[in-house]
Amino acid sequence: MSVDPNLAQRLLAGDRRALARAISLVENDDPAGWALVREVYPQTGKSAVVGVTGAPGSGKSTLIGGLVKNRRAADRSVAVLSIDPTSPFTQGALLGDRIRLTEHFLDPGVFIRSMANRGALGGLSEASLQAALLMDAAGRDDVFLETVGVGQAEVDIIDHADTVLLVLMPGGGDSVQALKAGIMEIPDIIVVNKADHPLTQTMVREIRGVLSLAPQGSWKVPILQTEAVDGRGIDELMDKLIEHRAHIEQEGTLSERRRNNLRSEVLALATHRVRRDLEQRLARGDGFEKLIDDVVARRLDPASAAAAILGDDVP
Amino acid sequence: MSVDPNLAQRLLAGDRRALARAISLVENDDPAGWALVREVYPQTGKSAVVGVTGAPGSGKSTLIGGLVKNRRAADRSVAVLSIDPTSPFTQGALLGDRIRLTEHFLDPGVFIRSMANRGALGGLSEASLQAALLMDAAGRDDVFLETVGVGQAEVDIIDHADTVLLVLMPGGGDSVQALKAGIMEIPDIIVVNKADHPLTQTMVREIRGVLSLAPQGSWKVPILQTEAVDGRGIDELMDKLIEHRAHIEQEGTLSERRRNNLRSEVLALATHRVRRDLEQRLARGDGFEKLIDDVVARRLDPASAAAAILGDDVP
């Protein structure tokens, strides 16, 4: 595949087609894609990056659709990166959702891209981080990252956000329990979507209880209520997102947060690369199934088999 | 730490203290622990291993308590390995739960061990797999693995189970949505615990809907209802667990399942080892923070920093 020598220039100028092309390159693990990110990286760090996470069915995509509309009304350019396999941005959504979102497809100020999960080799995680950087380099004022909040790849991409928004739905008590148990990290903003549901107030009270027990920083995590389908509560939510960003900028924690995020990203990229090398080595060699035979027959224990694969001495 | 030369022998004879000691060795990453697993591995594969997963607060521990009681009444020896940080087996539980579980602590036929999450370096996952093998080698008839079902380590250990039980609670709709979306794998048995809740029947109907859409194997996933606190439904649940195991044995899928499980374990162990080596290398060198400085200053992109860490040429 030949790569347009002016791709970086066009990307930096905000050309949508160049952005789409660049993301395809990183998605296809094309060395030209990696070189491109390297070239444009000095121009990144300008977008306001919001991570939107939540269980499937909580209405994240519809909510993002509403936020995008708000941003466009404020004349800001937007990019959406969805790595949620259940998202209508990606596939398999209800027709209604698709129709609500298509209005944005026609707007050149909105760039939407989805990435499907391509196995567990870490490829998705690497590609999504690079894609987020490309959107930033292309000068998008706001970048929304949509993730389902389960699994390694999704956790990695949320690490890229300046502001993390958790979307809950009434009756989705498992997420509240996970927050309570400290298994899920406390986000910056919590929204209870589908707030016309009779269980909404119960859920809000529960979340308030959880937050009251969490260590208090200088930012008080707000709990908002939205009905994304009707656009209710969206503008208030966007105001809070802007307020959070202003807060971390003012406090100086944005740069600290970004430093931590970038450290996590570098580690994640290194780990994924190592894992991929390992998987490739196994895919090439036919000795692996022979080793597994020995493990199944209880002649060789799993740890020794792992050491053998790595070419280490048995520990 | 000097290791009893007869530890393997005592472990294989079913000595509880030897089992506890052996697990501590693997937990402390002591080479003697790894050598021990290697030595006793040929004697493993005899336990019936049940993985119990579900959101925090769904009542997994109380349910396991009930199942243990049932197994003891049938005169079977039991081991419980909990790697759920929210479990009362581990810590931080309600006093009521603790009291209900302590009855088992006095019974020599019951061995309970918990492992806390010790960072994300993969150490927990490695240790828990080894611990499960040691319980098996110690001749425990039934092994229950309790996990919260979120995060990499927990996913790894559930791969070790012959039968996977998912515990849901009414109002915990996020898990049902995750099943529906195909993000959570369909387990072998589903139980709705706290079934005295008014939302139970709604949830059962929803799950039935999800299962009707899933590809049908020869095993029809049953949906049971329990009230673990009162012991209601526990015997029926145990009957189903036994029935599932008989089914996979009869069908010949147990050996296939174990082969797949062991393959996953070997890969997981190899990956964790590689990642740990990487973390250790970074912890030793002071060049890492310098690299991150460059990334933060946008002089070096994350992927190039990752390559530099690994000593690779820039891609």
Name the residue in chain B with its Cα closest to that of A315: B31
Name the residue in chain B with its Cα closest to that of A57: B177
Asked if A173 and B172 count as a contact pair (C-beta separation under 8 A), the reply is yes
Cβ contact (<8 Å) for B42 and A259? no
Asked if B63 and B52 count as a contact pair (C-beta separation under 8 A), the reply is yes
Cβ contact (<8 Å) for B303 and A269? yes
Name the residue in chain A with its Cα closest to that of B26: A303
User: Which H or E element spans position B112?
Assistant: strand B110-114
In whole angstroms, what is the distance from residue A269 CA to residue A267 CA? 5
Chain B nearest-CA distance from A74, in A, is: 29
Cβ contact (<8 Å) for A177 and B57? yes
Predicted pLDDT of residue B88: 63
What is the predicted ipTM? 0.83
Three-state DSSP state, A203: helix
What are the chain A neighbours of B42 within 8 Å (beta carbons)? 298-299
In whole angstroms, what is the distance from residue A148 CA to residue A2 CA? 35
In chain B, where the domains are located: 42-252
The residue of A267, A291, A314 whose CB has the most chain B CBs within 10 angstroms, and thus the best one to mutate to test that interface, is A267
In whole angstroms, what is the distance from residue B36 CA to residue B25 CA? 9
CATH architecture of A42-253: 3-Layer(aba) Sandwich (3.40)
Q: Which strands, in side-by-side order, build the sheet including B110-114?
A: B110-114, B78-82, B142-147, B48-54, B163-168, B189-192, B223-225
CA distances from B70 to A157, A307, B44, B63, B231 (A): 44, 40, 23, 11, 10
Is CATH 3.40.50.1100 the right assignment for the domain spanning B42-252? no
Burial pattern B114-153, b for ≥16 Cβ within 10 A else e, equals bbebeeeebbbbbbbbbbbbbbbbbbbebbbbbbbbbbbb
Cβ contact (<8 Å) for B266 and A173? no
In whole angstroms, what is the distance from residue A220 CA to residue A118 CA? 37
Name the percent of chain B lying above pLDDT 90.
Answer: 50
In whole angstroms, what is the distance from residue B315 CA to residue B311 CA? 11
Confidence of residue B101 (pLDDT cuts 50, 70, 90): low
Residue pLDDT, tens place only, A258-269:
998 888 888 888
Q: How many CA atoms lie within 13 A of B165 on its CB side?
A: 32
Residue of B37 and B276 predicted with greater confidence: B37
Residue pLDDT, tens place only, B53-91:
988 889 998 999 999 999 999 999 999 998 876 666 655
Name the residue in chain A with its Cα closest to that of B29: A315
Predicted pLDDT of residue A93: 43
CA-wise closest residue to A114 among A66, A82, A145, A153: A82
Chain A nearest-CA distance from B215, in A, is: 17
In whole angstroms, what is the distance from residue B66 CA to residue B81 CA? 15
Predicted pLDDT of residue A109: 93
Asked if A189 and A245 count as a contact pair (C-beta separation under 8 A), the reply is no
In whole angstroms, what is the distance from residue A103 CA to residue A101 CA? 5
Q: pTM of the prediction?
A: 0.85
Residue pLDDT, tens place only, B176-188:
888 888 778 889 9
Name the percent of chain B lying above pLDDT 70.
Answer: 86
Beta bridge partners of A164: A51
- Pick the range with the lowest mean pLDDT from A85-94, A204-213, A293-302, B190-199: A85-94
Average pLDDT in chain B: 85
Name the residue in chain A with its Cα closest to that of B275: A271
Nearest residue, CB atoms, B258 vs list A41, A150, A296: A296
Sign of CA dihedral A136, A142, A147, A151: positive
Predicted pLDDT of residue A282: 77
Residue pLDDT, tens place only, A24-83:
998 888 889 999 999 999 999 999 999 999 888 899 989 999 999 999 999 999 999 988
Residue pLDDT, tens place only, A100-123:
566 677 788 999 888 865 543 346
- Chain pair A-B, CB pairs under 8 angstroms: 207
Residue pLDDT, tens place only, B244-283:
999 999 998 888 889 988 888 888 888 878 877 777 777 7
Tell whether the model's pLDDT for residue A127 goes beyond 90.
Answer: no
Predicted pLDDT of residue A2: 62
- Pick the range with the lowest mean pLDDT from A134-148, A188-202, A212-226, B261-275: B261-275
Residue B239: Cβ within 10 Å count? 12
In whole angstroms, what is the distance from residue B267 CA to residue A303 CA? 10
Average pLDDT in chain A: 85
Burial pattern A95-104, b for ≥16 Cβ within 10 A else e, equals eebeebbeeb
Nearest residue, CB atoms, A292 vs list B31, B174, B263: B263
Chain B nearest-CA distance from A93, in A, is: 10
Three-state DSSP state, A103: helix
